[in-house]
A and B are shown apart, each in its own frame.
Chain A
């Protein structure tokens, strides 16, 4: 991925972007003033948001946004007979996607029939929804679980996966006012394997051959480790917390 460097942009280009952003006096501004004006146009005043501004300039630079140059009233045409996508689909189901070994992403939907059933005549919910995250060790063992409270309007959630070496599934659950619980739908399960070297960082760090073969191959010439949370943790353990 190659990101834009704002310093590389010419003054002409900054003028162009300012013009696109509706900065009225763009022709009369010098380079610094143009950057200030763009910051203002993007609603970002402090230096910490430079990255955001770069992102917005990047978008404007390529002008690939359909509405910005094809006009709001003339977006790229769809085909005849197409309709907008629904916000959700009316079945009660839940799906789980593995994002990384620490996090999964769950999305769900409720059937309209179910949503009618769970409220009283005045629309007040007769209970509450929650997610039950179940964890089962891959090598076998006892299942454990934790709950996440959700609102009726919620449709998705990032799910923390506390441990590696386990499989996870999520139940979409309902608890009525008497405290009785039922699972409305269960997701597919996702597995997070335990890497061989996790827990053996000392051995990896102490043996030069092992270190050269396995770890230094994932580090750049300048000492930058490949972008990965587990590898960073291994590096920390090997360095005794120095890295």
Chain B
């Protein structure tokens, strides 16, 4: 019997947000929520599966900006404080619910236990660096770790700037090497953004594979024999793994995906918004800014504000049903396809890691159940990673994938629309000027070297795909706008000073302290003649 191969690829990424100049900063919660609700639960899931001797392997891409934040002592300390506040709130919630809302008592207790578990795992077990957990799982053969662009830039919009795309890829690879001690084989294309020729940049840095949007195959100018059901080689030998839209939409769809089931937990109802200010005040942001606390007691229920209380046991049963359904759909398609494909089907299931646990509360449970079910059905479906698959020396077609992304419309429209198009004039100019600086002031030492290195960091930070996405999506758009302006203004400080052959030391010291990323960066990377 032919065995379908499944490659699960999770992209763990958050934009670089670090504001030590403020005692607490709301947007830093993005990191803390993701650690608590996705990264630590995923690590626990992986270790549970390993302890139970469940054979499994999958891929996680950890972005350089996320890795930088996960290694940062200031953010680690703040996350510890965040957990302490959650434990305190949990203790209060257990008492409040017992007295006032007993229907929520079970979940209040569960959240408190999770907060304590997170505290233990983060502080005691991982010594404030959870990257060690991923590294350990990779060394034990359970994970393939991959990298992505330095600041997760949407690369098709920088095609005309080879120095910048090269810098994004090279620093992504170097950052991975520094963090995990070896070179990565795989590269997560930010937002699945691909343009023909990008594979040449990847290959020049030793990358063997990347993932693409599903339509990169059907819209290819070549006839792709197996559609999305087999990886392909680009003409330079780098492999492209097209995302299985049909399979991932079972989870990802806003309208009909598993997370929309009525018994699952409602994401948007949170005591941070629902309880009186005098009670919740100490656990939200000053001055009285309501935010998510993670304490959520209601089920999705339906399109109504009359929600019913969340029942964890019900949701856990539904998770098992959904995992079985997912595997059933996979097997069914595999069977149908085995009659039409010349080769065994290969399914690439690519998701954002934060979907599991953070956006979809039950997501990690579901993932664990799917992995356990796959392990029990090894005759029909088997987990693998892109690198393991390629090591098998499989025969693959050589084609040219099409320009594509996984965003609305399938191309660049999300990152180049009325809300964000203004930024490219400035970012492109900064890249041109950075190239000019690297050419004019090559191989500087001491203060000028630090000054130019900081300029390179600011350009890269302005390129992050997160800022145009937030502006497009109208969420945190003013923060995103401000971040682009700040990084470009910072860059201009270096540019104007270097044109006068000067260094603004006060600015440099503060900028290095604030935007502490890519410690080993060498600004010469932007020299177009290198």
Contact between B274 and A12, CB atoms less than 8 A apart: yes
Tell me the nearest residue of chain A to B223, going by C-beta.
A196
Instruction: Check A8/B421 contact, CB under 8 A, given A212-B337, A228-B409.
Output: no
Instruction: Check A216/B482 contact, CB under 8 A, given A79-B490, A98-B156, A99-B412.
Output: no
* A residues less than 8 Å from B477 (CB atoms): 59, 65
Contact between A193 and B269, CB atoms less than 8 A apart: no
Contact between B411 and A99, CB atoms less than 8 A apart: yes
* B residues less than 8 Å from A62 (CB atoms): 291, 475-476
Q: Which of B38-46, B71-79, B214-222, B380-388 contacts A (4 or more CB under 8 A)?
A: B214-222
Contact between A82 and B478, CB atoms less than 8 A apart: no
> A149 at interface (Cβ–Cβ under 8 A)?
no
* B residues less than 8 Å from A31 (CB atoms): 305
- B-side interface residues, number (CB < 8 Å): 92
A73-95, CB < 8 A from B: 75-85, 88-89, 95
* B residues less than 8 Å from A177 (CB atoms): none
Instruction: Check A63/B274 contact, CB under 8 A, given A82-B489, A195-B402, A212-B337.
Output: no
Contact between B410 and A221, CB atoms less than 8 A apart: no
Contact between A196 and B220, CB atoms less than 8 A apart: yes
B426 to chain A: closest CB distance in Å?
Answer: 6
> B486 at interface (Cβ–Cβ under 8 A)?
yes
* B residues less than 8 Å from A84 (CB atoms): 489
Instruction: Check A78/B486 contact, CB under 8 A, given A64-B479, A217-B244, A217-B245.
Output: yes
> B135 at interface (Cβ–Cβ under 8 A)?
no
Count: A-B pairs, CB below 8 Å: 232
> B507 at interface (Cβ–Cβ under 8 A)?
yes
* A residues less than 8 Å from B317 (CB atoms): none
In angstroms, Cα B411 to Cα A101, docked, is 8
Instruction: Check A13/B410 contact, CB under 8 A, given A2-B267, A64-B478, A218-B246.
Output: no
Contact between A213 and B504, CB atoms less than 8 A apart: no
Instruction: Check A79/B428 contact, CB under 8 A, given A217-B227, A228-B409.
Output: no
* B residues less than 8 Å from A188 (CB atoms): 160
Given A105-B416, A209-B340, A217-B229; 17 other pairs, CB 8 A cutoff: A2-B359, A16-B273, A16-B290, A64-B26, A66-B482, A69-B289, A76-B479, A85-B488, A88-B425, A105-B421, A193-B196, A196-B222, A212-B336, A213-B340, A227-B410, A228-B215, A228-B409
Residues in A lying within 8 Å of B, measured CB to CB: 1-5, 7-13, 16, 31, 55, 58-59, 61-69, 75-85, 88-89, 95, 97-101, 105, 107, 109, 155-156, 188, 191, 193-197, 209, 212-222, 224, 226-231
10 residue pairs from A and B, CB less than 8 Å apart = A16-B290, A63-B26, A63-B289, A69-B287, A76-B482, A81-B506, A97-B424, A219-B246, A222-B255, A226-B214
